[in-house]
Amino acid sequence: MTITRRKIMQGAAAAVLLASAFAQPALAAVDVAGVKFAETANVGGQELKLNGAGVRTKVVFKVYALGFYLQEQKSTVQDVLNAAGPRRIQIVSMRDLTSDDFGAAFMAGLNANTSADERTKYLPQTKVFGEMFGAIPGLKKGDVLIVDWLPGVGTQCMLNGKKIGEVVPELGFYNAIMKIWIGDKPVDSSLKPKLLGSEQK
């Protein structure tokens, strides 16, 4: 094989490899009112799937976009709360929110969807979250707040990729957080079915 022919063959092979690289499908994302949610997320070394996502609105204002990630698709509240393995709640702020406003909304949703006994039981964990809200100035438009459940570790929060607050150990408290959006009295009734995957995103 001549040098010229060898170079042509090498060039053709390189072109095929380059075309193959560009042909690889990009990671899919779900668009929720302009906010992108990846179809999968790695939490605690395990790949989770986007169970559902939607927008929390108040009056006519878009407050934040929110998605639930689980190991397997779940379509009922009880199945979500019973889901095994790690979980993720991802919140993307769609407007500036003060720490006080976000904390007050969190507490209102928590209180509306838990019993008096549960509120007493989870008071220490609730205080930890209150301290976390107090330690941050608030959420700016585009900020990403992640609340992960890691079996054997607990509930862990991250703001824009940085860990915030203390780890909270009980799964029951994480379920209480999830019920803010999928409980009997969700903060936004139109968001609940989207998180359960029963409505088109």
- Which pLDDT belongs to residue 197? 86
Q: Is there a contact between 27 and 33 (Cβ–Cβ < 8 Å)?
A: no
Mean pLDDT, the chain, whole residue set: 87
- Which pLDDT belongs to residue 87? 98
- Residue 27 predicted with pLDDT over 90: no
- Residue 25 predicted with pLDDT over 80: no
pLDDT, one tens digit per residue, over 73-111 is: 999 999 999 999 999 999 999 999 999 999 999 999 999
pTM: predicted TM-score of the whole model, two decimal places: 0.84
- Residue 185 predicted with pLDDT over 50: yes
Edge-first strand order for the sheet with 46-58 is: 40-43, 46-58, 61-70, 87-93, 144-150, 154-159, 162-168
Task: Sketch the domain layout of the chain as residue ranges.
Answer: 26-195
pLDDT, one tens digit per residue, over 65-79 is: 999 999 999 999 999
- Residue 180 predicted with pLDDT over 90: yes
Pick the CATH number of 26-195 from 3.40.50.880, 3.50.70.10, 2.60.40.1110, 3.30.565.10: 3.50.70.10
